[in-house]
């Protein structure tokens, strides 16, 4: 009968031979059998340990255990300048301007593989009384009003929900797709130029595909499921924590008060909103509640919607 993978049968056989108390004389055949079996067993275990250590080192060196498919804060965020806003709307002395939308791996990005959008707006109050911005919504191409979120986990969850909703309508959501329209509308330039600053993400997010960091890794026929998940989970947890901290630092807390003759920046994070037609701002003043609707149907047309060939 062949020994099992753990070598239990071999161990039992060795103990059985040892129990017969072979003589110390090395010329005795039973003594040689015990010694040879011990040497072979120890040598096999050493080779396995060396192989495991080498493979783990190789995976760490190539980044396979680091969860490379996850979101990570960049050491050097991509700078961006715009020569004109994407869209704006004024009413009763209050003007809301959309300067830019930071999309996945696009100009202005500070995190790799982000599954959300950062809307950069400005609110100018030229009325005769202070106002207070209370809510901001994005309306996607299916006329769904999407609420802003302040946490990475909520943003990713919302993006997944959007992807499922569009999938039911026969539309594929692809983060960063269609951002060329926005580049033209905002005449965006960066420190290194538009041609090298922006690259549309090649793989659709939320597709359910696995990465080396989220599944077992096979190298030379050996499956390292445990170590890959353990190390990848730790690193991804650290990355997610750093990303969440950065989101909290960059976002504008609502309600936001804007005094008379004052202009305030407004950074708001949203789950993916494919081809959004409008950004809605709600605000209050001494006379009651009001809203401003910025038309983004031209500037953000086709954003996050994959073409048929993709």
Q: What is the pLDDT of residues 153-181, one digit of tens each?
A: 999 999 999 999 999 999 999 999 998 88
Pairwise pLDDT comparison (10 vs 127), residue with the higher score: 127
Predicted confidence (pLDDT) at residue 260 exceeds the cutoff of 80:
yes
* Helix or strand (DSSP H, E) at 139: strand 131-139
Distances (CA, A) of 42 to 35, 49, 289: 11, 11, 79
Q: What average pLDDT does range 243-265 have in this prediction?
A: 96
In the chain, % of residues over pLDDT 90: 48
| DSSP 8-state code for residue 19 | H
User: Residue 233: how many CB atoms within 10 A of its CB?
Assistant: 14
pLDDT bracket for residue 182 (50, 70, 90): confident
- The rounded mean pLDDT for the chain is 74
* Nearest one of 278, 307, 304, 305 to 115, comparing CA atoms: 304
Instruction: Count CA atoms within 13 Å of residue 71 on its CB side.
Output: 23
Max mean pLDDT among 111-115, 232-236, 261-265 falls in 261-265
Q: Which of 112, 173, 94, 113 is nearest to 140 (CA)?
A: 173
108-to-182, 222, 288, 300 alpha-carbon distances in Å: 13, 41, 36, 16
At residue 135, φ and ψ (nearest 5 deg) are -150, 155
Rounded to an integer, what distance in angstroms lies between the CA atom of residue 267 and that of residue 253?
9
Q: Is the distance from CB of 65 to CB of 231 less than 8 angstroms?
A: yes
Report the pLDDT value the prediction gives residue 19, as an integer from 0 to 100.
Answer: 47
pTM of the model: 0.65
Dihedral of the CA atoms 122, 250, 258, 296 (nearest 10)? 30
Percent of the chain clearing pLDDT 70 (strictly above)? 60
Tokens of 272: 């993916």
User: Between 4 and 281, whose confidence is greater?
Assistant: 281
Rounded mean pLDDT of 45-70? 48
Query: In terms of residues, how long is the chain?
Result: 310
- pLDDT of residue 252 exceeding 80: yes
User: Binning pLDDT at 50, 70 and 90, where does residue 186 land?
Assistant: low
- The count of other CB atoms within 10 Å of the CB of residue 91 is 13
């Amino acid at each position: 009968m062949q020994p099992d993978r753990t070598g239990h049968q071999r161990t039992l056989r060795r103990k059985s031979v040892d129990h017969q108390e072979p003589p110390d004389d090395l010329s005795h055949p039973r003594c040689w059998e015990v010694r040879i079996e011990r040497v072979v067993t120890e040598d096999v275990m050493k080779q396995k340990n060396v192989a495991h250590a080498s493979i783990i080192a190789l995976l760490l060196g190539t980044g396979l255990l680091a969860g490379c498919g996850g979101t990570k804060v960049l050491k050097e965020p991509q700078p961006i300048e715009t020569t004109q806003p994407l869209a704006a709307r004024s009413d009763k002395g209050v003007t809301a301007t959309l300067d830019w939308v930071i999309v996945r791996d696009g100009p202005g990005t500070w995190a790799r593989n982000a599954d959300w959008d950062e809307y950069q707006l400005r609110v100018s109050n030229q009325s005769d009384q202070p106002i207070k911005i209370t809510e901001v919504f994005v309306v996607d191409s299916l006329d769904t009003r999407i609420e802003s979120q302040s946490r990475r986990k909520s943003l990713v969850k919302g993006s997944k929900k959007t992807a499922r909703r569009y999938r039911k309508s026969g539309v594929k959501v692809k983060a960063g797709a269609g951002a060329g329209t926005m580049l033209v509308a905002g005449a965006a330039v960066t420190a290194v130029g538009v041609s090298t600053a922006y690259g549309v993400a090649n793989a659709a997010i939320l597709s359910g595909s696995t990465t080396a960091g989220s599944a077992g890794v096979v190298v030379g026929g050996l499956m390292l499921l445990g170590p890959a998940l353990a190390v990848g989970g730790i690193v991804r947890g650290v990355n997610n924590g750093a990303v969440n901290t950065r989101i909290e630092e960059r976002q504008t807390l609502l309600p936001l008060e804007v005094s008379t003759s004052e202009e305030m920046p407004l950074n708001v994070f949203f789950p993916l909103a494919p081809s959004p037609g409008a950004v809605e701002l709600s605000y209050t003043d001494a006379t009651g509640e009001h809203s401003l609707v910025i038309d983004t149907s031209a500037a953000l047309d086709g954003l996050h919607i994959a073409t048929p060939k993709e």
